[in-house]
Amino acid sequence: MNRIRLILLSFLFTLGILSNILTPLLVNAAEVNLIANPSVETASGTTPLNWTANKWGTNTTTLAYTTTGHTGKGLKVAMTARTDGDAKWMHDAVTVKPNTSYTYTSWYKATGASELDLQYTDTTGKNTYAYVDTMPASSTWVAFSRTFTTPANAAKISIMHLVSSVSTLETDDFNLSATVTAPVDQDNLIANGSFETANGVMPASWFNNKWGTNTASFTYGSTGRTGSRSATVSMTSFTNGDAKWYAAPVTVTPTKSYLYRDFYKASVVTRVVVAFQDAAGAYTYQDLTDAPLSASTWAQYSATITAPSTAVKASVYHLIDRVGTLSIDDVSMSVALPAPTGPTIANPSMETSANNLPSGWTSSNWGTNTPKFEYVNEGQSGTKSTKVTVTNYKDGDAKWYFEPITTLKVGSQYRVTAWYKTNVAPHPVAMFNMADGSTQYFGLPIAQPAANSTTVWQKYSDTFTVPAGAVSSSVFFYISQNGWLQTDNYSLTPYSPTGFSRPLLTLTFDDGHEDNATNALPILNKYGLKSTQCYATQFLEGQSQAVINGALAFSKSGHEICSHTVTHPFLTTTTPTALTYELSHSKQYLEKLIGKPVLNFASPYGDYDARVVTEVKKYYQSHRSVDEGYNSKDNFNAYDIRVQNILDTTTPQQVAAWIAHAQADKTWLVLVYHRVANNPGPYDSYIADFDKQIQAVVSSGITVKTYNDAFIETKAQL
């Protein structure tokens, strides 16, 4: 951008008349929209060019090409009756790169909740699907943006904004482009908030401005709080006015609250001002709390902003209006987290302290390790958080947890949300103190931090069910290796899953114990039920023919065979060569043994991380963990299928309760058994107990399918 244009922009911005000319100047040249006919203005007969109307299932739906879009023409889906299925407009599939981050943006308005899904096509032409988010109803046009990373074998993608309930959805102005900036967090509305992406000699999507009588200079620095860039303004003389760097205005929703954050260094007290723009282009300004001087260290600034009823866009200016220097980095603006509508966690963001510790929080460890527990003066929101660092690790774990609360209802489901930074993979757990004095632990899916998780707050969100007999509950993240974990801003809200067309049950057996062919198979055959047997092939390969015949007996009578590695190791501790062998050789051996494809995989001990899952995807269509829960349409993850784990203490009543829960919500319930015998270990089952549990299954009337058959049925409904 040349000097004359910069001067003109500064002058017009000061006069408050920039709105009509700013938008075309703020386009980041690095972003290339991959979607053809993105504003659907070009028609092909009576339909938009490069777009297709799509629906499936039993529903009454009209898909229309309208003249009342967000800008010009638009797309509309109106569902007036539904038994099952969904409907959507789909753009032509576009070519993407594997393991690459893309950002999708569009505008919509809707009378009910709608869903955003991804359809991937791999290099062999096979389609797979991924859930992204549920979009709330909106009576006015609103913009949204989501970022995702393509799988390792992705070749093409289509974005599906769909309707699966009686409601109306209108969409327009679509954009899909490779992500060129890494936001401070996944919900950041400000592009290039860490200044890492350059546009010539300027940070992409950023501008600078001064007005009044003062002397100011602007520097796009080569150092920063994180990464290697930041932005600095220095004022050497001052009579009036101000100077600042500012980001491209972001779209806001009237009356909605937003959280603004940045990190700064300043040799003087600096001001923060938010400028709101209405639909006519008029500006109003709101002063926020001043930022104290912090000359030598990066300090965090945080404020909550509520958009006026007429606002459509907003810009936040962290500015200097006196002689001094101001540097900013890691700027973010995101929708403020709503107040919890369910149970309340005392001091959820650790802001309240007592004796220099967070009120209502406890640190704990067990085993042989050296933990360091800290109450940190920096947070995802506010200015506090908790941190644990582990050294000298041999076994056990360490964590912070909030004091158990008594307001969760037995049998109800809740969503836990928390934020974290880390250099390891943290393990989330729901903890329940039971009426009989015991404690139960519910393993949630392992957090999968991004590569920038040591400096950028990561969001974790998942669900759990409160078991019968629970009297108080807490949720925590633990680490069980050398490393550190920082957490903040916990919340619990009621959760209701989005079910499938019917409930399903799958019986899986891990390891390949030879007792099961003798003890479990006759009971399953007696009741006419088929299971899925997951073999660690060391229990077959090189064993006696009698042992091998046991596995063949399952396969020949219609039970599914799945892989459970070769030697049953903790996969996260394996070398790359060993991991490949464990996954590939077990598949090869089992397929040769039974003469059928082995499509699915269950990890030993439920031990996995991003590296393991990436390798699993090369050989199998799915991964079953031991993360506890139910599989529903809104949480379906082909590479983390959830389960309920059977122990030697599991009663037929507990199995019946799990089934009733799945039936009520129309979810897919997977049970994990190990050995069925008269001398069971803690993860095994007595023969008599197993028979009664299977009787409970039959009595419930739930449809029982092998893992693969249930996977196919549920996957088709996504």
Residue 179: pLDDT band with limits 50, 70, 90 = low
Residue 143: pLDDT band with limits 50, 70, 90 = low
Q: Which of 576, 586, 491, 506 is nearest to 541 (CA)?
A: 586
pLDDT of 364 above 60: yes
At residue 14, the pLDDT reads 31
pLDDT of 487 above 90: yes
At residue 301, the pLDDT reads 87
Residue 707: pLDDT band with limits 50, 70, 90 = very high
Contacts of 490 (CB under 8 A, 6+ apart): 345, 348, 349, 402, 416, 417, 418, 475
For the stretch 579-606, pLDDT in tens is: 999 999 999 999 999 999 999 999 999 9
Residue 182: pLDDT band with limits 50, 70, 90 = very low
Sheet strands (E) in 283-360: 283-287, 294-306, 311-320, 324-335, 353-354, 357-358
pLDDT of 221 above 70: yes
At residue 12, the pLDDT reads 29
- For 299-303, 508-512, 571-575, which range has the lowest pLDDT when averaged over its residues? 299-303
At residue 415, the pLDDT reads 92
pLDDT above 70 covers what percent of the chain? 93
Mean pLDDT for the stretch of residues 693-716:
96
For the stretch 69-82, pLDDT in tens is: 988 899 999 999 99
Mean pLDDT for the stretch of residues 644-652:
94
**Tokens found for residue 664:** 């009520």
Q: Is 153 exposed, middle or buried (0-12, 13-18, 19+ CB in 10 A)?
A: middle
For the stretch 295-338, pLDDT in tens is: 888 888 888 899 999 999 999 999 999 999 999 999 999 887 65
Query: How many whole angstroms separate alpha carbon 468 and alpha carbon 601?
Result: 31
For the stretch 411-465, pLDDT in tens is: 889 999 999 999 998 999 999 999 989 999 988 999 989 889 999 999 999 999 9
At residue 675, the pLDDT reads 95
Query: How many whole angstroms separate alpha carbon 134 and alpha carbon 148?
Result: 15
At residue 71, the pLDDT reads 81
Query: How many whole angstroms separate alpha carbon 507 and alpha carbon 285?
Result: 61
Query: How many whole angstroms separate alpha carbon 112 and alpha carbon 670?
Result: 31
Round the average pLDDT of the chain to a whole number and report it.
Answer: 89
At residue 342, the pLDDT reads 60
At residue 411, the pLDDT reads 85
At residue 72, the pLDDT reads 87
Mean pLDDT for the stretch of residues 149-153:
87
Residue 200: pLDDT band with limits 50, 70, 90 = confident
- What kind and span of H or E run contains 515? helix 515-527
Query: How many whole angstroms separate alpha carbon 3 and alpha carbon 8?
Result: 9
DSSP 3-state of 613: helix
At residue 183, the pLDDT reads 36
pLDDT of 512 above 60: yes
For the chain, how many helices (H) and strands (E)?
A: 9, 48
Query: How many whole angstroms separate alpha carbon 321 and alpha carbon 241?
Result: 6
pLDDT of 141 above 90: no
Query: How many whole angstroms separate alpha carbon 423 and alpha carbon 426?
Result: 9
Query: How many whole angstroms separate alpha carbon 524 and alpha carbon 530?
Result: 7
Query: How many whole angstroms separate alpha carbon 135 and alpha carbon 705?
Result: 32
Contacts of 608 (CB under 8 A, 6+ apart): 446, 571, 572, 616, 623, 625, 640
Residue 7: pLDDT band with limits 50, 70, 90 = very low
Q: Is 577 exposed, middle or buried (0-12, 13-18, 19+ CB in 10 A)?
A: exposed
pLDDT of 27 above 50: no
CB 41 within 8 A of CB 70: no
At residue 13, the pLDDT reads 29
For the stretch 531-547, pLDDT in tens is: 999 999 999 999 999 99
- Residue ranges and CATH numbers for the domains of the chain are 3-27+184-335 (2.60.120.260), 43-178 (2.60.120.260), 353-494 (2.60.120.260), 504-715 (3.20.20.370)
Q: Beginning with the edge strand found earlier in the chain, give each strand of the sheet holding 324-335 in spatial order.
A: 214-221, 230-238, 324-335, 257-266, 294-306
Mean pLDDT for the stretch of residues 159-187:
77
Mean pLDDT for the stretch of residues 609-613:
92
At residue 556, the pLDDT reads 96
CB 228 within 8 A of CB 283: no
Mean pLDDT for the stretch of residues 37-53:
92
At residue 20, the pLDDT reads 29
Query: Alpha-carbon dihedral of residues 465, 467, 473, 478, nearest 10 degrees?
Result: -70
At residue 246, the pLDDT reads 93
- The pTM (predicted TM-score) of the whole model is 0.55
pLDDT of 124 above 80: yes
Residue 9: pLDDT band with limits 50, 70, 90 = very low
Residue 25: pLDDT band with limits 50, 70, 90 = very low
Query: How many whole angstroms separate alpha carbon 545 and alpha carbon 561?
Result: 18
